[in-house]
């Protein structure tokens, strides 16, 4: 196995929590392409097997976990516009889980987004040999009219605008946006015709993503600005010491800045481009040697950092510690110091979802998110701005295999 093949194999393995495992009749090239798209967005750090074990064991561990900072003042950003957060500022209550409705002929493959208000949720599902994208509006599902054999949604904003990519019957891929009841094809930049991926949309309608060159090796960060419809901007690619030139875009903040990481699994630098396209590395906390951005909400970015001297995970990747960045001030802070993993998403109040815990980390405490059955493992994906709605997957074994059910927790 070559270094490049091994690199993508590791990244694809970490995406299995959100990518459907197809039957042998599905085109393998299409599967790898779809997997790579999801991997670039999630960029998780634990191997799939290790993550599954963590999910099954975590409820016991969380039962006695109260968090690192229970007896000290909050450090979630400065007072003022970003707002301080105090432990216990909001009451704790059990989270009620219920399934998200799907048409009877669809089988869910994963969830891909939720808007800040918790009204809209996006995901993908299969029907026979076709994968479709679904948007739930207050729990009511709608199959998006994407003309493709394989559609992947990648995010939604508070106006219900959804972005994603899709594969036509001839094997070509195209980026798309759904707004006002219509699916439009987004333009692809010159020199990157084969694999263009919108990966997030902000409140204003700016869209961010990546594009790959014809060799599927080099990637660039892209921005489709809402105020210049029909255009796409290739953002400058930085050359950073000791860092591979691989762009991994997590999304676009509400101020128009694009947020992501530059590098690979061995070493990466958290990075952002402002609305004018000027790029700069995001701050790392003291002792951190590497950092990844996994998600963005409002003016906050979420992800993980590796500290010097930390032992590696079983698959050889580095251990991550969950953090968030204020894009208003540039400040970086740990959000769950007693837990490991990436903060895959969160809100401005400091609530986060970790990629290794079936819980909502709420005011430094882990609130377990139970499944639909006693045998279920849960995979939370996103939390709304109020901290009261979480969406994710309930994963349960059945006689036919593994059943993935999209669920919502009301906390």
Report the pLDDT value the prediction gives residue 363, as an integer from 0 to 100.
72
Q: Binning pLDDT at 50, 70 and 90, where does residue 5 land?
A: very low
pLDDT band for 316, please (50, 70, 90 cuts): low
Give the DSSP H/E element, type plus range, for residue 198: strand 195-201
Range of the domain at 200: 3-410
- Taking residue 313's Cβ as centre, other Cβ atoms within 10 Å add up to 16
The 3 state secondary structure assigned to 59-113 is: HHHHHCCCCCCCCCCCCCCCCCCCCCCCCCCCCCCCCEEEECCCCCCCEEEEEEE
Q: Flag the least confident range among 136-145, 160-169, 285-294, 335-344.
A: 335-344
Residue 62 has pLDDT above 70, yes or no: no
**pLDDT by residue (tens digit) across 211-261?**
987 777 778 999 999 999 999 999 998 877 666 667 899 999 999 999 999
- pLDDT above 90: residue 317: no
Residue 93: predicted pLDDT = 66
Q: What is the pLDDT of residue 12?
A: 37
pLDDT value at residue 247: 85
User: How much is the pLDDT for 362?
Assistant: 83
In whole angstroms, give the CA distance from residue 153 to residue 217.
Answer: 23
What are the pLDDT digits (tens) for 65-123?
443 333 333 333 332 334 333 334 455 567 999 999 999 899 999 999 999 999 999 99
> What pLDDT, in 10s, does the model give residues 27-46?
333 433 444 444 343 333 33
Pairing label, strands 401-410, 96-99? antiparallel
pLDDT value of position 162: 98
pLDDT value at 8 more than 50: no
Query: Looking at the 3D structure of the chain, how many domains does it have?
Result: 1
Please report, for the domain that includes residue 155, its CATH number: 2.130.10.150
Give the pLDDT of residue 168: 95
Residue 155, pLDDT score: 94
Q: Is the pTM of this model over 0.85?
A: no
Residue 390 confidence (pLDDT): 98
Kindly report the backbone phi and psi dihedral angles of residue 30, in degrees, each rounded to the nearest multiple of 5, phi listed first: -65, -40
Cα 242 to chain centroid distance, Å, stands at: 25
């Amino acid at each position: 196995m070559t270094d490049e093949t091994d690199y993508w194999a590791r990244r694809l393995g970490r995406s299995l929590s959100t990518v459907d495992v197809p039957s042998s009749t599905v085109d393998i090239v299409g599967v790898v392409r779809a997997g790579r798209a999801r991997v670039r967005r999630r960029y998780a750090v634990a191997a799939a097997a290790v993550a599954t074990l963590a999910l099954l064991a975590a409820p016991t561990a969380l039962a006695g976990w109260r968090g690192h900072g229970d007896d000290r003042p909050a450090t979630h950003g400065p007072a003022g516009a970003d707002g301080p957060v105090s432990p216990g500022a909001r009451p704790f209550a059990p989270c009620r889980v219920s399934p998200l409705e799907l048409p009877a002929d669809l089988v869910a493959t994963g969830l891909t987004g939720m808007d800040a208000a918790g009204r809209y949720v996006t995901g993908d599902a299969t029907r026979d040999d076709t994968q479709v994208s679904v948007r739930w509006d207050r729990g009511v599902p709608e199959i998006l009219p994407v003309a493709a054999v394989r559609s992947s949604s990648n995010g939604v904003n508070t106006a219900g605008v959804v972005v994603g990519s899709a594969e036509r019957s001839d094997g070509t891929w195209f980026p798309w946006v759904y707004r006002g009841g219509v699916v439009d094809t987004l333009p692809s930049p010159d020199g990157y015709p084969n694999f263009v991926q919108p990966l997030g949309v902000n409140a204003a309608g700016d869209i961010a993503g990546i594009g790959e060159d014809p060799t599927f090796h080099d990637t660039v960060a892209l921005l489709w600005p809402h105020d210049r419809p029909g255009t796409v901007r290739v953002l400058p690619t930085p050359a950073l010491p000791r860092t591979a030139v691989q762009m991994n875009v997590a999304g676009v903040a509400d101020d128009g800045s694009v947020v992501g990481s530059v590098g690979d699994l061995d070493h990466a630098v958290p990075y952002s481009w402002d609305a004018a396209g000027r790029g700069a590395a995001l701050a790392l906390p003291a002792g951190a040697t590497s950092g990844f951005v996994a998600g963005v909400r409002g003016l906050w970015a979420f992800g993980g950092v590796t500290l010097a001297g930390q032992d590696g995970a079983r698959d050889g990747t580095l251990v991550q510690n969950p953090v968030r960045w204020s894009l208003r001030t540039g400040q970086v802070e740990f959000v769950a110091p007693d837990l490991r993993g990436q903060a895959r998403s969160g809100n401005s109040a400091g609530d986060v979802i970790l990629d290794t815990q079936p819980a909502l980390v709420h005011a430094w405490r882990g609130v377990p998110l139970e499944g639909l059955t006693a045998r279920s493992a849960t995979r939370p994906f996103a939390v709304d701005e109020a901290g009261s709605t979480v969406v994710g997957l309930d994963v349960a074994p059945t006689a036919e295999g593994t059943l993935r059910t999209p669920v919502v927790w009301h906390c």
